[in-house]
Structure 1
Amino acid sequence: MKKKKFILSLTCLISVLGLAACSDDSDSDDEIATMKGDKITVGDFYDKAKTDQNSQQIVLDMIISQVFTEKYGDEVSDDEVDQQIEETFGDEETLNQQLEASQMSKGELEETYRQSLAVQEGLKDHVDLTDDDLKEAWDSYHPEVEAQLIAVSSEDDANDVKDEVDEDDADFGKIAEENSVDASKDDEGKVKFDSTTSPEEVPDEVKEQAWDLEDGEVTDPIEVNSEYGSGYYILKMNKNQDKGDDMDEYEDEIQEIATDNKINDQEFSTQVIGEELQDANVKIQDEAFSDILTQFTEAADGQGESNSSSEDASDEQATEETESSSE
């Protein structure tokens, strides 16, 4: 099972690419449409479109992407870009269909993914993990297990399959191949996953029940309703394992989980983006977009004031201690 990290959504990626593809070198007086006694120019369109919420979001995404790519883009390898594209689109045929539908080249898509990954690298650069961060990650972690899954679309189908797997000498793998709609059906439903595996691959509801199973145990039908789809799952645990008490044994995994938790924390990411925007001296030149950076710059300013207050308090305490000592 592949583990996915957060990147810009496909919709956002295509939107940014679409804006870039459509911009070309058009002049504001270029005509989009003409009619008796009137016309619509590129400038007319821009004046109308720039106040739209989607347009505001696209411009914000472009600013953030360019700022982070300028500073962190060199830290993103071609292999990382290829891996993210593969995990998003799967096979080459699906990728080409999406590119054709969006009228984008593969090079444009690769550049957009590179920008998204550069944002991740920038956020990582600001991460400073505490013991509490590591403990939170450790508490939520469960090491990889080996199991088999059967996924069906209806409760009736799930109950029928459950009755079948409960029969004496039932072959769970064969039943999975005959009934499951999960991608793992071609391998007798076999899956490997841990607590960091994407819900798109193994739903959270399934993982939560899996951790408590003994080897050989089979769940009752598990109902799943999420953004990734709905249905019912039946899981057989083949090899579970307890993580024990030694966090050092899973040091790399815990570091990665804690880092991802930090990156996906909205307060943290908003503050970091604000700091990077300030460091890049971003200035909005068009009044229509004057407020798009406010939440980020305010977060960065607030953190600066907080740090300043802490330093002032420390200085004041040190002064009081010195005066007390002198007395």
Structure 2
Amino acid sequence: MKKKNFILSLTGLISILGLAACSDSSDSEDEIATMEGEQITVGDFYDRAKTDQNNQQIVLDMIISQVFTEKYGDEVSDDEVDQQIEDTFGDEDTLNQQLESSQMSRSELEETYRESLAVQKGLEDHVNLSEDDLNEAWDSYHPEVEAQLIAVTSEDEANEVKDQVEEDDADFGEIAEENSVAPSADNEGTVTFDSATSAEEVPDEVKEQAWDLEDGEITDPIEVSSEYGSGFYILRMNENQDKGEDMEEYEEQIQEIATDNQINDQEFTTQVIGEELQDANVRIQDEAFSDILTQFTDATGNQEESSNSSENSSEEQSTEETENSSE
């Protein structure tokens, strides 16, 4: 399922924890480096660092995380935190290596993920789905299918594989295990997915072609471009299904898709964050950071102006109707 990702990158986590450690253990006059007749203090570093755009983003992330954690943190369970860490790092060995290289503790990592999940909870709390939202999610939904997938890195390889799988008595699963660079190769290329499955698991270009296939049909090579370059996929449909006409049969999935669609909307998230910052009475004390909340305060300000305009319009209309009635 596609969700807006508020989990900060590992680099961001390290930066935030590093700044916190610095503020806890250092005085602004503490020396970082000395040279002939000169010195660089923690204060000097802060004065220079605070104007950097990346560091301003870190401060903004910290403000948003603390505001949402204060209000929604209790709604985040330990199991959810553990699951998010597992989804991000996979096995414990990888996690421990990352923690060691970044000099972070498990508890520090858990706390930061808890804060990010609290933001997710806060956004979900503001979701209000209309009938149109549900219908839009239903129109784009395709139920789960089972297929086999082969991924290769070049068009020539893809054409060769396509020829192999079309031969009489060809074993698609065996060919997938021998040729595919996708994780599914370990399971004869077998994958299950629906329209909401993330593009990282099954590319959107592949899904779009899959819905029209009959059981047993095989696609031509499908080119997929990403930030890492191009790849080619060949898919065999094992078991497709039509969703039918009854949306209630998939009510839970449709609700989740519609919720994700709303949370993924930038205007919605900006508005919600602005409201929460306003409710928490956030005030910037350092002039260097005076503009970091502007996008959110502008959003809430525009909503208030729109609301006031609507109220004034209603009042004017009511007054006019009263006057006309008196006449």
1:171-320 paired onto structure 2 within 5 Å:
171-227=171-227, 230-320=230-320
TM-score, normalised to structure 2, is 0.95
1:92-111 paired onto structure 2 within 5 Å:
92-111=92-111
| Structure 1 equivalent of residue 116 of structure 2 | 116
| Structure 2 equivalent of residue 74 of structure 1 | 74
| Structure 1 equivalent of residue 138 of structure 2 | 138
Contact 2:3–2:263 (8 Å) recurs in 1: no
Query: One-letter code of the match for 1:183?
Result: P
| Structure 2 equivalent of residue 7 of structure 1 | 6
1:152-163 paired onto structure 2 within 5 Å:
152-163=152-163
Contact 2:2–2:260 (8 Å) recurs in 1: no
Query: One-letter code of the match for 1:8?
Result: I
Using the TM superposition, give the Cα deviation of residue 126 of structure 1 relative to its aligned residue in structure 2, in angstroms.
1.1
Contact 1:18–1:104 (8 Å) recurs in 2: no
Query: One-letter code of the match for 2:134?
Result: L
Are the structure 2 counterparts of residues 227 and 254 from structure 1 closer, same or farther at C-alpha, using a change threshold of 3 Å? farther
Using the TM superposition, give the Cα deviation of residue 17 of structure 1 relative to its aligned residue in structure 2, in angstroms.
3.0
Contact 2:218–2:234 (8 Å) recurs in 1: yes
Using the TM superposition, give the Cα deviation of residue 25 of structure 1 relative to its aligned residue in structure 2, in angstroms.
2.1
Q: Counterpart of 1:148 in 2: which secondary structure?
A: strand
Q: How big is the alpha-carbon RMSD for the aligned residues of Structure 1 and Structure 2? A: 1.6
- d(CA) in 2 for partners of 1:88, 1:316: 55
- d(CA) in 2 for partners of 1:306, 1:280: 22
- d(CA) in 2 for partners of 1:237, 1:324: 69
- d(CA) in 1 for partners of 2:132, 2:5: 22
- d(CA) in 1 for partners of 2:240, 2:209: 12
Using the TM superposition, give the Cα deviation of residue 325 of structure 1 relative to its aligned residue in structure 2, in angstroms.
4.8
| CA displacement 1:191-213 (0-9 Å, x = unmatched) | 10011111111111111111111
TM-score, normalised to structure 1, is 0.95
Are the structure 2 counterparts of residues 5 and 88 from structure 1 closer, same or farther at C-alpha, using a change threshold of 3 Å? farther
Using the TM superposition, give the Cα deviation of residue 97 of structure 1 relative to its aligned residue in structure 2, in angstroms.
1.5
Using the TM superposition, give the Cα deviation of residue 316 of structure 1 relative to its aligned residue in structure 2, in angstroms.
3.2
Q: Counterpart of 1:6 in 2: which secondary structure?
A: coil
- d(CA) in 2 for partners of 1:168, 1:120: 51
Contact 1:224–1:231 (8 Å) recurs in 2: yes
Using the TM superposition, give the Cα deviation of residue 264 of structure 1 relative to its aligned residue in structure 2, in angstroms.
1.2
| Structure 2 equivalent of residue 32 of structure 1 | 32
| CA displacement 1:84-115 (0-9 Å, x = unmatched) | 11111111111112112211111111111111
Residues paired across the two proteins, number? 326
Are the structure 2 counterparts of residues 228 and 250 from structure 1 closer, same or farther at C-alpha, using a change threshold of 3 Å? farther
- d(CA) in 1 for partners of 2:225, 2:23: 40
- d(CA) in 1 for partners of 2:211, 2:194: 9
Q: Counterpart of 1:55 in 2: which secondary structure?
A: helix
Are the structure 2 counterparts of residues 286 and 69 from structure 1 closer, same or farther at C-alpha, using a change threshold of 3 Å? same
Q: Structure 1 unaligned segments of length 5 or more: list them.
A: none
Contact 1:273–1:296 (8 Å) recurs in 2: yes
Percent identical among aligned pairs is 80
Are the structure 2 counterparts of residues 240 and 74 from structure 1 closer, same or farther at C-alpha, using a change threshold of 3 Å? same
| CA displacement 1:164-209 (0-9 Å, x = unmatched) | 0010110000101111111111111111001111111111111111
Q: Counterpart of 1:63 in 2: which secondary structure?
A: helix
Contact 1:17–1:109 (8 Å) recurs in 2: no
Q: Structure 2 unaligned segments of length 5 or more: list them.
A: none
Query: One-letter code of the match for 1:158?
Result: A
Using the TM superposition, give the Cα deviation of residue 224 of structure 1 relative to its aligned residue in structure 2, in angstroms.
1.0
Query: One-letter code of the match for 1:188?
Result: E
Using the TM superposition, give the Cα deviation of residue 308 of structure 1 relative to its aligned residue in structure 2, in angstroms.
2.1
Contact 1:18–1:102 (8 Å) recurs in 2: no
Q: Counterpart of 1:24 in 2: which secondary structure?
A: helix
- d(CA) in 2 for partners of 1:324, 1:129: 39
